[in-house]
Amino acid sequence: MATKAGARTGARRSNGNGGARGGATFGLAPWLGVAVIAILLDQVTKLTVLKTFQYGEFHPLTSFFNLVLVYNKGAAFSFLAAAGGWQRWFFTLLGLVAATVIIWLLKRHNGQKMFCLSLSLILGGALGNVIDRVIYGHVIDFLDFHVGGWHWPAFNVADSAICVGAVLLVIDELRRVRRGK
């Protein structure tokens, strides 16, 4: 009987996903690796644009896409960009708190591939933008899509990782709900 209880405890312990959803345990390292790759891609592309462009300079690549160097002192869609400077530290702190919560979730649910992949991309994107805020005081944006005379706000690889992660998170949740029916 002690052997069966030990086996059950061992199985529960090795699952590592809090019992919310099934899956093999992968540990934290692969998911942090995904986040590091997102951060590296983000920072390398930003440094390349910083060394190649002057502020405000743009280069059309297609009829709907430019590379441009702009700075964003706010958040998405330049939210709070015109605030008095406090927003730099607010969004830095917010990014660090989000990163802490995400790492906790990754530890708790490391066997859920889609969930952890989505969180890893969000983590990498959040930390990529935190790095900018700490070093430069603003986020470096350079991807500029437009249709006719209308432009989406410029963004970067970190923003893209966050968006892809968010979409994957929604897909994962929809799949989970669907399996539950």
96 exposed, middle or buried (CB, 10 Å; 0-12, 13-18, 19+)? middle
Q: What is the pLDDT of residue 27?
A: 87
Looking at this protein, which amino acid is placed at residue 54?
Answer: Q
Q: How confident is the model at residue 48 (pLDDT cuts 50, 70, 90)?
A: very high
**Listed residue (126, 130, 127, 111) closest to 163, CA to CA:** 126
Q: From CA 53, how far away is CA 98, in angstroms rounded?
A: 31
Catalytic-role residue among 132, 141, 144, 172: 141
Which pLDDT band, with edges at 50, 70 and 90, does 67 fall under?
A: very high
Q: How confident is the model at residue 89 (pLDDT cuts 50, 70, 90)?
A: confident
Tokens of 133: 């805020």
The overall average pLDDT reported for the chain is: 84
Any idea which residue has 């942090």 for tokens? 32
- Cα torsion 98, 104, 106, 111 to 10°: value is -150
Check 42, 144, 159, 172 and give the catalytic one: 159
> Tens digits of per-residue pLDDT, 144-179?
999 988 888 999 999 999 999 999 999 999 998 888
Q: What is the pLDDT of residue 172?
A: 95
Tell me the three state secondary structure of residue 40: helix
Number of other residues whose CB lies within 10 A of the CB of residue 70 = 21
The dihedral of CA 16, 17, 23, 29: what is its sign? negative
The mean pLDDT value for 59-87 works out to: 78
More confident position, 146 or 7: 146
Query: At residue 148, what is the residue type?
Result: G
Active site residue 172: no
**Residue scoring higher pLDDT (110 or 62):** 62
Q: Which pLDDT score is estimated for 78?
A: 59
Alpha helices in the chain (DSSP H): 2-15, 29-52, 86-108, 113-136, 157-180
DSSP-derived secondary structure letter, 80: T
Q: How far apart are CA 167 and CA 19, in angstroms?
A: 24
More confident residue, 178 or 100: 100
pLDDT over threshold 70, residue 45: yes
- pLDDT digit string, tens, across residues 107-121: 999 889 999 999 999
Active site residue 132: no
Using 50, 70 and 90 to split pLDDT, how confident is the model at 26?
Answer: confident
Helices 29-52, 86-108: axis angle to 10 degrees equals 150
